[in-house]
Amino acid sequence: MLEYVYMNTTFTRTICIRLDVDGHEAILAATQRACNAAASWIASVCWEEHITNTNTAHHRVYGETRTRFGLGAQLAVCARAKAIEAIKAVKAKKRETCPQFGPRGSIRYDARTYRLMSLDRVSLNTLAGRVVCRLVLGERQHSMLVDPAWEIGGADLVWRRGVYFLHVTQSREGSEPSDPEGTLGVDLGIVALATDSDGQTFSGAQVTQVRTRYLKRRQALQQVGTKNAKRRLRQNAGKEARFQRDVNHCISKAVVRKAKDSCKALALEDLTGIRERVTVRHEQRALRHSWAFFQLRQFITYKAAWASVPLHLVDPRNTSRTCHACGHCEKANRKSQAEFVCKACGLAMNADHNAAINISRKQWAAVNQPMASSLRGEMQAPAF
């Protein structure tokens, strides 16, 4: 299972590998508790003293972290790094709550605290010294792990539902985007999840059906409220999210592959803040706000970067109201969700297709290219 991130010209991927801990569960759990308790304490100290600089935080908490929590030198450093990163993330979102970590939170490992060994083994630093665990590798994971083109970085030890996973990061420099011979515009929507300027549509009918089924099932179980109902809710947790990721991955792969094969750039609407700007009826809120369009944009972004396809954001204003043939812009041009009829020239066509053509022709907005955020544990999916 792989996760890719594109930032500037550097690619980063995370390989999620299941671990056979071979009887080391107790010491790994104890190390988790100590590391997360240390990270929580460090976050509290730095939050109260308004410390966000890494070096300042290191001098403030390093010695006390080791004595208070019994951590080795590098584990203390990793706990500090985790806490400072969390504080910066919280402040970037303008939240006023100090980050805290549960006893089963992940453990950050750097090059000095873990080592990949031959024969599918990994050495991990713990409170009781080094322990060796077996990597349960699939064929795909093994081939990616030994690829010499990628440089191995740090790792996170993650506990999930009684199973340990090692999230190993790798990075490499990306190539410069190719010179396009045109632009493929992509319009995102609800009924049609994506429509490109060539007229290809990715329908959302099956998606709506599946999401409605999950919503009704979740509501029914929540109303029952029994122990078995809550157990079933836990069992079903994540199924809808995995379905959503799979659909978004399939759409983004097809869009990027088409742009690459036709030597075109990609143009997407900059929909930042669209939920705050658009009002919908109460009965439409679940349908309108539950699909992860930002996730789809993330997937298209890093797949485009991986394929060296330029991607740009455009101003979305009036793209669905403007006739691509004559340029007439009027709200009445959009007769319905699916139908566009120009009041000036009489052009009639699919409304999403018309919007996608306008997106492909619109001047590129002066906004930064979106970055695919590192959502570890959420964006694990096959490589492009």
- Whether the per-residue pLDDT at 88 is higher than 70: the answer is yes
Say if residue 165 is in the same domain as residue 193.
no
Note whether residue 216 is domain-resident.
yes
Among 64, 377, 331, 10, residue whose Cα is nearest residue 176? 10
pLDDT category of residue 94 using cuts at 50, 70 and 90: confident
Instruction: Name which residue leads in pLDDT, 225 or 289.
Output: 225
pLDDT at position 124: 95
pLDDT at position 168: 95
Note whether residue 135 is domain-resident.
yes
Say if residue 70 is in the same domain as residue 128.
yes
Say if residue 217 is in the same domain as residue 121.
no
Note whether residue 222 is domain-resident.
yes
pLDDT category of residue 256 using cuts at 50, 70 and 90: very high
Average pLDDT over residues 122-135: 94
What are 258-300's pLDDT values in tens digits? 999 999 999 998 877 655 555 555 555 555 555 677 888 889 9
What are 13-56's pLDDT values in tens digits? 899 999 999 889 999 999 999 999 999 999 999 999 999 999 99
- Whether the per-residue pLDDT at 71 is higher than 80: the answer is yes
Spatial separation of the C-alpha atoms in residues 121 and 132, rounded to whole Å: 7
Mark which of 127, 154, 173 sits at the end of a domain.
173
Say if residue 105 is in the same domain as residue 196.
no
Say if residue 167 is in the same domain as residue 235.
no
Say if residue 130 is in the same domain as residue 229.
no
- Whether the per-residue pLDDT at 366 is higher than 60: the answer is no
Among 277, 284, 384, residue whose Cα is nearest residue 337? 284
Mark which of 134, 152, 173 sits at the end of a domain.
173
Average pLDDT over residues 313-323: 88
Note whether residue 17 is domain-resident.
yes
Question: Which whole-number Å values give the CA distances from 357 to 199, 200, 377, in the listed order?
Answer: 9, 12, 36
Note whether residue 381 is domain-resident.
no
- Indicate the number of domains in the chain: 2
pLDDT category of residue 315 using cuts at 50, 70 and 90: confident
- The Cβ of residue 207 has, within 10 Å, a number of other Cβ atoms equal to 18
Say if residue 169 is in the same domain as residue 247.
no
Which 3 state secondary structure label does DSSP give 353?
Answer: helix
Q: Which domain holds residue 198?
A: 183-361
Say if residue 195 is in the same domain as residue 136.
no
Instruction: Name which residue leads in pLDDT, 38 or 335.
Output: 38
Residue in this structure with the two tokens 């549509």, named with its chain if needed: 201
DSSP string, 62-87: HHHHHHHH---HHHHHHHHHHHHHHH
- Whether the per-residue pLDDT at 2 is higher than 50: the answer is no
Say if residue 296 is in the same domain as residue 192.
yes
Say if residue 7 is in the same domain as residue 74.
yes
Note whether residue 382 is domain-resident.
no
Structure tokens of 2?
Answer: 């792989």
Say if residue 191 is in the same domain as residue 159.
no
pLDDT at position 159: 95
Note whether residue 113 is domain-resident.
yes
CATH number of the structural domain spanning residue 350 = 3.30.420
- Whether the per-residue pLDDT at 70 is higher than 80: the answer is yes
Note whether residue 275 is domain-resident.
yes
Instruction: Name which residue leads in pLDDT, 199 or 273.
Output: 199
Bridging pattern class, strands 265-269 and 311-314: parallel
pLDDT category of residue 377 using cuts at 50, 70 and 90: very low
pLDDT category of residue 113 using cuts at 50, 70 and 90: very high
Alpha carbon 5 to chain centroid distance? 8
Average pLDDT over residues 143-166: 92
Among 360, 191, 362, 371, residue whose Cα is nearest residue 259? 360
pLDDT at position 381: 36
Mark which of 155, 173, 191 sits at the end of a domain.
173
- Whether the per-residue pLDDT at 6 is higher than 60: the answer is no
Say if residue 156 is in the same domain as residue 226.
no
pLDDT at position 279: 53
Residue in this structure with the two tokens 């010499």, named with its chain if needed: 148
Spatial separation of the C-alpha atoms in residues 186 and 256, rounded to whole Å: 11
The residues that bridge with 194 in the sheet, in sequence order, are 188, 202
- Whether the per-residue pLDDT at 181 is higher than 80: the answer is yes
Contacts of 32 (CB under 8 A, 6+ apart): 103, 104, 105, 107, 157, 159
pLDDT at position 47: 95
pLDDT category of residue 353 using cuts at 50, 70 and 90: very high
